[in-house]
Amino acid sequence: MFHWLEKNPFLFSVGVFIVIAFAGLIEILPNFAEAARPIKGLKPYTVLQLAGKEVYKKDNCIACHSQLIRPFKAETDRYGQYSLSGEYAYDRPFLWGSKRTGPDLHRVGNYRTPDWHANHMWNPKSVVPDSIMPAYKHQFKNIADTETAYAEAVTVKKVFNTPYGPEIAPGKAAYEKYYKSILLPEAMKIAKAMKNKDVEAMVKQGKVPEIVALIAYLEKLK
Ligand code: HEC
Give the pLDDT of residue 34.
60
Give the pLDDT of residue 36.
55
Q: What percent of the chain has pLDDT over 70?
A: 98
Burial of residue 108 (number of CB atoms within 10 Å: 0-12, 13-18, 19+): buried
Which residues surround ligand 1 with Cβ inside 6 Å? 56, 59-61, 63-65, 101-103, 105, 108, 112, 117, 124, 128, 131-134, 136, 214, 218
Quote the CA–CA distance of 116 and 126 in Å, as a whole number: 10
Give the pLDDT of residue 31.
73
Nearest to 52 by CA among 186, 170, 172, 161: 186
Give the pLDDT of residue 32.
73
At 33-56, the pLDDT tens digits run 665 578 889 999 999 999 999 999
CA of 67 to the centre of ligand 1 (A): 12
Q: What percent of the chain has pLDDT over 90?
A: 88
Quote the CA–CA distance of 196 and 179 in Å, as a whole number: 21
Question: Can you list the residues of the chain whose pLDDT is less than 50?
Answer: none
CA of 153 to the centre of ligand 1 (A): 27
CA of 135 to the centre of ligand 1 (A): 9
- Of all protein residues, whose CA lies closest to atom 33 belonging to ligand 1? 61
- Of all protein residues, whose CA lies closest to atom 32 belonging to ligand 1? 61
- Quote the Cα angle for 114-63-219, to 5°: 20
- Of all protein residues, whose CA lies closest to atom 1 belonging to ligand 1? 133
Quote the CA–CA distance of 108 and 92 in Å, as a whole number: 20
Give the pLDDT of residue 1.
77
Quote the CA–CA distance of 16 and 89 in Å, as a whole number: 35
Give the pLDDT of residue 91.
93
Give the pLDDT of residue 45.
97
Pocket test for ligand 1, best of 53, 64, 117 (most atoms within 8 A of CB): 64
